[in-house]
Each structure stands twice: as structure tokens, then as C-alpha cells.
Amino acid sequence: MLTPDDFLAALHERGARRIRCVRFRANRSTVWSLTQRGTVLNVHAVFSRADDEILESFATLAREGHAESRRGRSASAAIMSWPPLHDEIARLRKEHSAERRTTGRSSCCGTPEQRSYLRALYDYFNQTRFGGALPSDIPVRLSDRMRSSLGHMRIDEDSDDGRRVAEIALNLDLMLEGNGAERADTLLHEMAHAADYLESGHAGHGPSWKAWARRVGCRPTTLYDRPVRRRRPRNRPLQRVPPLPASLSPRAAPTELDVID
């Protein structure tokens, strides 16, 4: 079993010296991501059992800085097809489904006013960027449990009537003043995941998601290098409701992300 430090040392041995930190994450959907301008590699905890081939694939991704080059795509494909990854994600999703049947839907930490704001922003983007293609009833919530990630789209694994999206969740920190552009970009990013999944069945950051991202005007990448303001301390309550600016109008160009606080 590799520790994060072991994993980092293995990357450095393979020439990926830009990475200064490796973090293991136990989740049901995100396999890997590069954050903090490509210096932090977040990987699924199952990769503590990574073999030499998988370590070399991660080193390639770290050296490339993304999965868009030929080498990056090949490395990403090797990682995504690793059998232990599929088995572990299936196990985690099964456990989560059982827990949700017991405890119910994930709760939103936001105030009623914050929930109304998110719904208004979702509805606006759905009409102006997605042409109304997304269901109007996808739950959109705030989470105060996210640390490095800014948002997620979760599929409904218990659905028996085709593809369904269970929720879109955003990091509560995005409601801080000064995070307007990041808030809009993250919501569009997750809505693009929802559109891609409902259309193609894909839930990752592959070519079909990138096509949606470009179409609706968010960054078509998993690497987010703009500074995001954070709460200090992390558990500080946040009830701020950002204004919905007049620039969010049907006349706005689809690539504009001028959500000003």
C-alpha cells in the first residue's frame, strides 16, 4: 500500500517533479484532478494500490499538465480502465445507495435565500446557455463539506427509468464576495456534466463533456488555476446571497461569465 508521500516520490522518480503534493480522496466519481496550477494531484484512494504501469500513467498526466495531448489521453485511458478502480467505485456507490435509502437525500447547508439564488442562476443558464435542454427539477445545493473541489454532479444510481441526475452541489465558499466568476464557471461546469450524462451517458471529462463546456462557455478543463476565496476558519457560517446582476440577460454573449458580486 502506498502512502501519499510514497506516491509523490514515485512521480518524482518518473520525472513529474512539478507535483509537490499528492492527496488521496475516497469518493464515488472523481478519479483524478490537478489543482493549484498543476502542483497538487488529487487521486482516488484506490490508487494507494497502484502498480508501476499506473504510476507511470499518472506521471505522464502530471508532466503533461492535462489529458488533452496524445500522451495525456493514452495515460488517462489506462487509468480509467484499471480494474481495481471500477470495482472500488462500484462498491462505494452501492454503499452510498444503501445509506441514502436509510437517511434520505443529501441536505443543503444553504439558507432559503441562497437556495432561491442558485435555482434562479440554474434556470437562467439552462435557458440561455443550454437551450432549456436540462430538466428544471435537478436539485442544486450548497455543501460545506468540500475542501479542494468546487462542485460536483451526481448521477442517480438507483434510477430504474433511464438516466437521471441526482443533484448538482457547489462549494459553500463560492458564495463569498469576489467569487462571482468562479461560481458561474463551476455551475456551468457541473451543468455541462449533467447535459453530457443525459445525452451520452458519460460522466467524466472526456471529449463529449468538453464539447458541452465550450458550447456553454465554461472552461473545458479539470484544472482550475484562478484564486478562489475561502472561509477562515473553515466552519465559519456563511449566509451571504450574491446579487443577480443585470448583465445576466438574454442579450449576454454565451461566453461571458461576468457574474459580479
Q: How far apart are CA 216 and CA 130, in angstroms?
A: 7
Asked if pLDDT for residue 105 goes beyond 60, the answer is: no
Strand partners, 41: 22, 34
From the list 69, 11, 70, the residue with the least C-alpha distance to 41 is: 11
Number of Cβ within a 10 Å radius of residue 33: 18
Per-domain boundaries in the chain: 4-83, 105-261
Stretch 221-228: mean pLDDT, rounded? 74
Note the pTM of the prediction, 2 decimals. Answer: 0.63
Q: 34 vs 115, which has greater pLDDT?
A: 115
Mean of the per-residue pLDDT values of the chain: 85
DSSP 57: H
Number of Cβ within a 10 Å radius of residue 203: 17
Check residue 254 and give its pLDDT.
Answer: 45
Q: Please compute Rg for the chain using Cα positions.
A: 19
Strand pairing report for 165-171 and 140-143: parallel
Extract the C-alpha cell encoding 211.
464539447
For residue 53, give the amino acid letter. Answer: E
Low-confidence winner among 10-14, 192-196, 206-210, 218-222 (lowest mean pLDDT): 218-222
Asked if pLDDT for residue 99 goes beyond 80, the answer is: no
Asked if pLDDT for residue 23 goes beyond 50, the answer is: yes
Q: List, in order, residues 6 or more apart from 91 with CB less than 8 Å away.
A: none
Asked if pLDDT for residue 22 goes beyond 60, the answer is: yes
Stretch 38-45: mean pLDDT, rounded? 90
> Is the previous residue joined to 233 through a cis bond, with omega within 30 degrees of 0?
yes
Let me know: does 40 contact 23? Beta carbons within 8 Å.
Answer: yes
In the chain, alpha helices (H): 4-13, 52-64, 70-80, 83-103, 112-128, 180-200, 207-216
